[in-house]
Amino acid sequence: MHGRHTVRALLRDGGCLAGGLVAALLVTSALSGLGFGWVGGLTRSGDSEQWTSPPTAVGLVVDYAGALAGRDLRAVPVVRAVALLLLAIVLLVLWQRAWRDRRASAEPAQARARVALHGAGLALAATVVLSPVFYPWYASWPLALLALTATRTTWFVLPAGAATFLALPDGTNLARFAKAPGAVAMTALLLFLLLRVRQNGLKRSPRRWSRSDAHDRAGTWC
């Protein structure tokens, strides 16, 4: 029943997916006539420091606090690096969780596919939140997968809807005009969310997961 869910199958299908993505990028770059200049442009994307990126917002607040004390801390690169490390850990955990639940689930193939798609949606959401640069349209990336697989999407729909108002039709980014207060507000929001998550974790009684738990979560995993 679970013969297809093997490491060999994962490497084969993952290789096909990665090959298709690389081929699409190569063909699009060649046919557009613009070449591969965008590759070099990616190395400069981190030059933008906007509070809409949570790690950047935290780094800006630390720098502001250091400036009040007469110190130039340059915390933004450090916080961004820590966030990328945390992102790698989160992606690994999400992958392991989806892989385990798919193998343990006794549900039909369609339900098992929803587990993988939902994990991909959460991975995209984590990438958007922990990336060093954030533009309003980034928030729409995870919505397609989460709308198909999640039982509740309010937690991400509301921030995504709010982000759409940051960029005006003429390309003006309103976040540029609220850098300091925006950074403080974003950092305060992160602290509030961390406290809520900690409180919810303390309220739940710890217990061990069994294979039957994985069966129950196959359709409603979040």
Give tens-digit pLDDT for 46-77.
Answer: 778 889 999 999 999 999 999 999 998 999 99
Q: Are 27 and 102 in contact (CB under 8 A)?
A: no
Instruction: Tell me: pLDDT of 26 over 60.
Output: yes
205: number of Cβ within 10 Å: 5
Output the six-digit token pair for 106. Answer: 């006794």
For residue 112, what pLDDT is reported?
67
Q: Sorting pLDDT into bands at 50, 70 and 90, what band is 220?
A: very low
Beta-carbon-side half-sphere exposure of residue 68 (alpha carbons within 13 Å) = 5
Residues 200-220 have a mean pLDDT of 52
First to last CA, the chain: 24
For residue 211, what pLDDT is reported?
45
Which of 23-37, 84-98, 120-134 is the least confident region? 23-37
For the entire predicted model, the pTM comes to 0.75
Beta-carbon-side half-sphere exposure of residue 196 (alpha carbons within 13 Å) = 6
Residues 193-215 have a mean pLDDT of 64
For residue 68, what pLDDT is reported?
92
Per-residue pLDDT tens for 159-186? 777 777 777 766 677 788 888 999 999 9
> In percent, how much of the chain has pLDDT > 90?
31
Q: Which residue has the higher pLDDT, 41 or 53?
A: 53
Q: Which residue has the higher pLDDT, 149 or 75?
A: 75
For residue 4, what pLDDT is reported?
62
Q: Are 80 and 134 in contact (CB under 8 A)?
A: no
